[in-house]
Chain A
Amino acid sequence: MLQRLLAIVRKELITMLRDPRARLALIIPPIIQLFIFSSAATMEVKNIAVAVVDLDRGPYALDVQQRLAGSRSFTRLPPYANVASARGALEREQVIGILVLPSGFSADRAAGRPASAQLLLDGRRSNAAQITAQYVSTIMAAGAAPAANAEVVIDNWFNPNLDYRWFMLPNLVGMLSLGVALMITALSVARERELGTFDQTLVSPATPFEIALGKLLPPLLVASVQATLYLLIVTLLYGVPFRGNLLVFYAAVLTFAEACAGVGLFISSLVHTQQQAFLGAFAVLLPFALLSGFATPVENMPWWLQFVTTINPLAHMLRLMQGLFLKGASVASLAQDLVKLLEIALCTTTAAVLLFRRKAA
């Protein structure tokens, strides 16, 4: 049986890697994605442009503007005569907000009366707008705060500079393995059906069970090669720390890839054409990605969706990656997610093999 299984695995690997273009397609696009996404996927707000309407023209208003200009986050502070004229720039998204310093601002400050300024923000980009509001109010308050004898000291663990890339890169390791493991298996049976070679495989001495296993193993190989590559790029090139256990890392990658490959094979057994397989894989990929904490935190979701995330392999994979790369979480706490992942992998693999056998029979 082992011999027949190995023969099938070999055949699958050959079909996958025979074409030099296909070989490149397995390695190059994910790496390009890693580079582009790690730059694009940022929730940090930088290069902020805020229009300034200075109706005060006093020393304190000037002080606020200089403070903003001195901050790294603000790159442009174009002046406008009034709000109406600045509005067009906001509509065209040239600025994210308009800071209005009303007349009497400096006089109030000088007299010790409470002074107030207005910040009008573009609600179409509400997240960036909220963070901009935080920056502006911090900068303004810092200029005015009296010395106090009490303070809050903030210490950011795991990611001292709150670098968004440190968060994104470990997540991408999980995300990109998901894509490759799912796509390879989802298209495998559908392609053979379309090309008519599926029947030939079925009449070979290999049992359907062995054929199914033979299709599930190659993605594991590809996923672990890719994961190794990512691990090197992420730690050596981007300087993200890896504080966990390498064995746990590979155990996580393999279990996760198996869980995804199971889903892929299930889809592939269900459909008739590659187009359907592709769409099926896609229809799974997106919910997995959205309900995993990849882009936005699981904690922000309603409770019933948070429950759904517990059966999403990617959600566990991301917690494992965060724990391994940044947090150096204890093996005991990682084991929880690893066991969950293993359960999911068992379920998807069993379901896929059962469906495959039924369809092949």
Chain B
Amino acid sequence: MSDTLTRVRSWWQQLAAIMIKEGKQVTRDPSSWIIAVVLPLTFLFLFGFGISLDTTVVKIAVVREDGGRDARAFADALTSSRWFLVAPATDRRSGERLLQDQNVKAVVVIPAEFGRRLYAQNTTAQVQVLVDGAEPNTANYVHGYVGAIWSGFLAARGLEQGSPIAAPVSLEVRYWYNANAVSRWFLIPGSMTVIMTLLGTLLTSLVIAREYERGTLEALYATPLTRGQILIGKTLPYFLLAMVSMAVCVLTALLLFQLPLRGSFLALGLVSAVFLVPALGQGLLISVTMRTQMAAAQLGLMTGYLPAMMLSGFLFDIHSMPPWLQAITLAIPARYMNVSLQTVFLAGDLWSVLIPNMLFMLGVGALFFGLTWRRLHKRLD
């Protein structure tokens, strides 16, 4: 009985020893603190301010070839709209030039005869809109804005003539969880996923590769430490580091970016801790597979960071991707983290959503740690 007790105690002592060694290595390096606090803050700041899908003001040019009252009324409606900043263009050619040289995003041409055609029978008055289609998202917004101003113009004209155009069908749109459809609200939880991946996977991917490169790995293997102890000892300091920076991120999101937290801190902490299992596991697996830090870093970037950025639904909607790519995203832990974070922040503790996601992350994490454990064993022989 006391024999078991001694063994358990020495096991803990050994674990504590390697954790202290790893912890010292992490905390003594000033760059660790930069990584845990400064880097996440900078990134969150950049993500929060730099990334926005909410088109604010679009620069356009208006070419009015018709000097009449109606043409002027429509041009004024465009100018006074809060969506557009109107640059003057004297004729169609100069408007097209502005568009081609990337100075404006669209050119609205009100052709000669516009006013006359508007009142004549059997003719159609046309307004031409040349849109810079190179960036389709903005182009879509421009379509929507011009359409809205045009409807307003027609309605005002109808009222003037005593025949109001009643909109026969209206669509009442409501956004759940994010009433004003602010893109920042869904982008910030996504940025946290990216930051956590960065800390969890990229940093740990260098951990064992570094010891291998420096030749200190043999020394580590020569100690009485078991594989389990090495794994836990190497992982835990990074786990704590990542949790600290997650806390920093959450505080920043709530205080600076005014993100609502409709779920609980408990759910938030739980989801973050669970996500770190596959993130750290992936990093360690890379670290035991690759022999150099350079190769490990590249692999970590390719399989960890980039998928978290591109394939997690952070910026690009997964449902719009081709089926083969959607299938690939199913294997990416960041995808599940993203949905979970967005849910906890914006919708609340929907456990029916969170639990399946967490189970999946744990499953992938177990797989990564299992593979790491096996590889570590092979080298010990």
Q: Which residues of A contact B (CB under 8 A)?
A: 21, 25, 29, 33, 36-37, 39-49, 88, 90-93, 96, 109, 112, 114-131, 133-134, 136-137, 140-141, 143-144, 146, 148-164, 166-167, 183, 187, 191, 194, 274-276, 278-279, 282-283, 286-287, 290-291, 293, 295-297, 299-302, 305, 319, 322-323, 326-330, 333
A156 touching B52, Cβ below 8 Å: no
Docked complex Cα distance between A274 and B209 (Å): 11
> Is B50 interfacial (CB 8 A cutoff)?
yes
- Once the chains bind, are B128 and A155 in contact (CB under 8 Å)? yes
Count chain A CB atoms within 10 A of each CB in B206, B301, B317 and give the residue with the most.
Answer: B317
B347 near A155 (CB under 8 angstroms)?
Answer: no
What are 25 A-B contacts defined by CB distance under 8 Å? Answer: A39-B325, A42-B316, A42-B320, A46-B319, A123-B178, A123-B181, A124-B342, A124-B347, A136-B171, A140-B169, A141-B169, A143-B169, A152-B146, A152-B150, A275-B31, A275-B206, A283-B42, A291-B46, A297-B137, A300-B52, A300-B53, A300-B56, A323-B102, A326-B134, A330-B100
B34-52 vs A, CB cutoff 8 Å, 1 = contact: the mask equals 0100010011001101111
Residue among B135, B150, B313 making CB contact with A167, cutoff 8 Å: B135
Asked whether A126 and B140 contact (CB < 8 A) given A116-B170, A141-B169, the answer is: no
> A90 contacts which chain B residues (CB < 8 A)?
176
Query: Which residue of chain B is the closest to A296 with respect to CB atoms?
Result: B51
Assess whether B224 is interfacial by the CB under 8 Å rule.
Answer: no
* Inter-subunit contact B51/A290 (CB<8 Å): yes
Whether B93 sits at the interface, judged by CB under 8 Å, is no
For residue B55, which residues in chain A have a CB less than 8 angstroms away from its CB? Answer: 297, 299-300
Given contact pairs A47-B319, A154-B131, A116 touches B172 in the complex (Cβ within 8 A): yes
| B308-329 near A? 1/0 per residue, CB < 8 Å | 0011010111011110010000
Chain B contact residue count (CB 8 A cutoff): 101
Q: Most chain-B Cβ atoms within 10 A of its Cβ — which of A91, A276, A301, A323? A: A91
B42-72 Cβ-contact flags toward A at 8 Å (1 or 0): 1100110111111111110000000000000
Closest to A149 in B: B124
With A123-B177, A156-B131 known as contacts, the answer to whether A299 contacts B350 (CB < 8 A) is no
Q: Which chain A residues lie closer than 8 Å to B311 at the CB level?
A: 36, 40
Which residues of B come within 8 Å of A, CB atoms?
A: 31, 35, 39, 42-43, 46-47, 49-59, 99-102, 105, 117-118, 123-140, 143-144, 146-147, 150, 154, 165-179, 181-183, 185-186, 198, 202, 206, 210, 213, 293-295, 297-298, 301-302, 306, 310-311, 313, 315-317, 319-322, 325, 339, 342-343, 346-347, 350, 352-353
B171 touches A116 (CB 8 A): yes
Known contacts A36-B310, A123-B176, A296-B52; decide if A109 and B298 are in contact (CB<8 Å): no
Indicate which residue in B54, B139, B186 contacts A156 across the interface (CB closer than 8 Å).
B139
CB pair B310–A41 under 8 Å, yes or no, is yes
A127 lies within 8 A of B124 (CB): no
